Structure 1
């Protein structure tokens, strides 16, 4: 009977998240992750064929975890104004609960080598993004956003504004202020009034 692996994929990806949060995508190497968990390099190559696949997986796992909650909030409230406020609030709350992952998401998929990802990873990223963008578009329509300017206002309220509230603190390595969710929700409500 084969011995179970000492290091599972999630442990390796958790280490990669910490490395990326501290030093950006360049800090995520096969040897750095192996060293961070005390694993032999072979453990890395057993799970990831190379650094490109590792970068893709750490990005995708992180963004998918964020998108799961964000999508649920966007689609879980029948009142579009409440859903919009809850979605903007969720961004801040998720970043507060997951500061290392949030710091990682301040980069983009391109910073994690998307141009070189295998097709399966690109499809996975596009599917997740498409699902969230479609939910935002449906919410914008429910809010009465009929022209480009109105749709831009919804995107600002649901995406750009919450990220702006958290970005400065995350980049400085500071905790989010206790009022960040309330501030974000009030600003979103004002934009969409």
Structure 2
């Protein structure tokens, strides 16, 4: 009977996210993650075949967690304006509550070697994006306004704080909500 794993995939990915938040994408390596959790470096290769696989898993897990909240807000049985406000506020709140994972999203998939990810991770990313596009398409509002309200503006508001590695202030919630309300008509 094989010995049970001492470290879960989530623990390893959490360590990778912390390394990225502290030192950027280049800080994420198989040996650095192993050191961070106190695991033998060889055990990393039992979970992830390559650094690209590790980085791809980190990205997909992060994007899934983020998208689940955005799509939930967009799928609520409210009017389009209320749904867009909720999605915009979710972005700010999620980034505040998950600063390491927010740094992963800020770094971007390309910085995490997306071109070298295993096929199953690339396919998973396409599925995530397809679900988000479907949620956006269900809103009966101008697509450019929706994108500005729930993607462009919240991203801009949190980005400068994430780059400076500062906490996102409480005022950010009201800013993105006001902008979403201004962009998406009530109804």
Q: Normalising by the residue count of structure 1, what TM-score does the alignment of the two structures yield? A: 0.92
- The correspondence for 1:174, drawn from 166, 172, 177, is 166
Q: Where in structure 1 do 4 or more consecutive aligned residues deviate above 2 Å?
A: none
CA RMSD of aligned residues (A): 1.1
Where does residue 86 of structure 1 map in the other structure? 86
User: Are 2:51 and 1:59 equivalent residues in the alignment?
Assistant: no
User: Are 2:144 and 1:152 equivalent residues in the alignment?
Assistant: yes
Superposed CA deviations along residues 42-71 of structure 1, whole A, max 9, x for unmatched, are 110110011110010011101111011111
Q: Give the match's secondary structure for 1:106.
A: helix
* More divergent stretch after superposition (2-11 vs 54-63): 2-11
Matched pairs, number? 185
Q: Distance in 2 between matches of 1:152 and 1:76?
A: 20
Deviation at 1:103, TM superposition (A): 1.2
Q: Is the Cα–Cα contact under 8 Å of residues 7 and 43 in structure 1 kept in the other structure?
A: no
Q: Is the Cα–Cα contact under 8 Å of residues 154 and 176 in structure 2 kept in the other structure?
A: yes
- The correspondence for 1:187, drawn from 176, 179, 183, is 179
Q: Give the match's secondary structure for 1:176.
A: coil
What are the ranges of 5 or more consecutive residues in structure 1 without an aligned counterpart?
A: 146-150
What are the ranges of 5 or more consecutive residues in structure 2 without an aligned counterpart?
A: none
Q: Distance in 1 between matches of 2:168 and 2:113?
A: 29
Superposed CA deviations along residues 74-116 of structure 1, whole A, max 9, x for unmatched, are 1013311100111111100111110110111012211111111
Q: Distance in 2 between matches of 1:117 and 1:170?
A: 26
* More divergent stretch after superposition (19-28 vs 32-41): 19-28
Q: Distance in 2 between matches of 1:40 and 1:77?
A: 49
